[in-house]
Structure 1
Amino acid sequence: MIDYIKGEIAELTPASITVECAGVGYIASISLNTYSALNGATAAKIYVYESIREDAHVLFGFSDIHERALFLQLISVSGVGPSTARMILSSMSAKELEAAIGTENVAVVQSVKGIGAKTAQRIILDLKDKIKLTDEAGALQLPTHASLPETGREAVSALVMLGFSQQASQKVVAKIVKTAPSLPVEAIIKDALKRL
């Protein structure tokens, strides 16, 4: 099991990161929270979860060990796989998720694309005793320096990588960018995840 990878960031998108370590490039799927934390950095230490299936070995990367711990707790819930856990952690910050679980707020957990009422209730039931409730469910700090056309393209690209159709992604992102042209890419994607 790989614990972490430390090296230069060769490529960073809202959905994945490639870290070069000792001449080898490791690609890992990441959440928007990790993207926000690493955006603009040239080097990174990412904590890793390795998903081994018959047809593929997939790495999931996290900028901090707390997010990985929360990811591991999510995938321990029946019916929640690594991709779903990443979607949850892309839709809200770790603190927001912990607050929703701690206060048994099914509606917040269910607001994530692909999470039904039963799954949301199961997540809360299974994890409410394992999650430490924090005082503040602070909003995610998002960078605002990306230019408008680039943010739209990056958002669509990330949504397609997450499994949504190109056409639906472009339609939703176009609406969001039209009403709020200064939104950063992470905020566009979060909004799109709620609408798709």
Structure 2
Amino acid sequence: MIEYITGEVAELSPTETVIECMGIGYLLNISLNTYSSLQKGNDAKLYVYEAIREDAHLLYGFSARRERELFLLLISVSGVGPNTARMILSSLNPSELEQVIVSENVNILKSVKGIGGKTAQRIIVDLKDKIKPTGDPLLESTPMNNDVFDEAVAALVMLGFSQQQSQKAVQKLLKESPQMNVETVIKVALKML
């Protein structure tokens, strides 16, 4: 199995990259999170998942080992294939995904294109015991923040902002300042949106 590939980013698009290593160009499927960490012409190290099928040998690349670990957990869930897992990791960064799973927030998972209610529930049920908080303060104080998160998002949606827009803003604020109360989160989010 290939652990990682290090080389120059020869080609780059939001969904794939070609890493040139010792004269060989490796095409890797990537998430938007990994895309944002790469720059064409620069050297990069991508952790690899190899999907070997009857009709193709595909490589998936990740700029961080933790993103690959989450990818592997996601594809272990029945009904979640590599492309669906990549879509989830393009919509949520690794710490956001961990928070969503730990806090059992089905609605955020359902907002990802191609994820229905049953799949979102299955992901949470299958993975909530496998996700370990990584020292992120938002993860360590989930019960308090979950209430603040839900109330702030609901208020912003009632004020006319989209669910996804509201969730991203509130999640960003709580990640930066986990002790914020609902009113403060809403006031600051209104300035951001």
**Same fold (TM > 0.5):** yes
| Structure 2, unpaired ranges of 5+ | 140-193
Counterpart of 2:60 in structure 1 is 60
Corresponding position: 1:37 with 2:68? no
Counterpart of 1:117 in structure 2 is 117
Contact kept in structure 2, 1:15 and 1:29, CA below 8 Å? yes
Specify the SS of the correspondent of 1:33: helix
**Equivalences, count:** 137
Specify which of 118, 122, 138 is matched with residue 136 of structure 1.
138
1:39-85 CA deviation, whole Å, 9 max, x = no partner? 36611010000001111000000001010000000000000000000
Q: What residue identity is the alignment partner of 1:135? A: P
Q: What residue identity is the alignment partner of 2:16? A: S
Give the drift of 1:135. Answer: 2.0
Rounded Cα–Cα distance in structure 1 between residues aligned with 2:7 and 2:45? 7
Specify the SS of the correspondent of 2:19: strand
Contact kept in structure 2, 1:95 and 1:136, CA below 8 Å? no
| Structure 1, unpaired ranges of 5+ | 138-196
Q: What residue identity is the alignment partner of 2:18? A: T
Structure of higher CA gyration radius: 2
Specify the SS of the correspondent of 1:131: coil
| TM-score, L = length of structure 2 | 0.69
Relative CO higher for 1 or 2, CA cutoff 8 Å, sep ≥ 6? 1
Counterpart of 2:11 in structure 1 is 11
Equivalence map 1:33-182=2 (5 Å): 33-39=33-39, 42-133=42-133, 134-136=136-138
Q: What residue identity is the alignment partner of 1:5? A: I
Q: What residue identity is the alignment partner of 1:30? A: I
Q: What residue identity is the alignment partner of 1:14? A: P
What is the root-mean-square deviation of aligned Cα atoms in Å? Answer: 1.2
| TM-score, L = length of structure 1 | 0.68
Give the drift of 1:136. Answer: 3.4
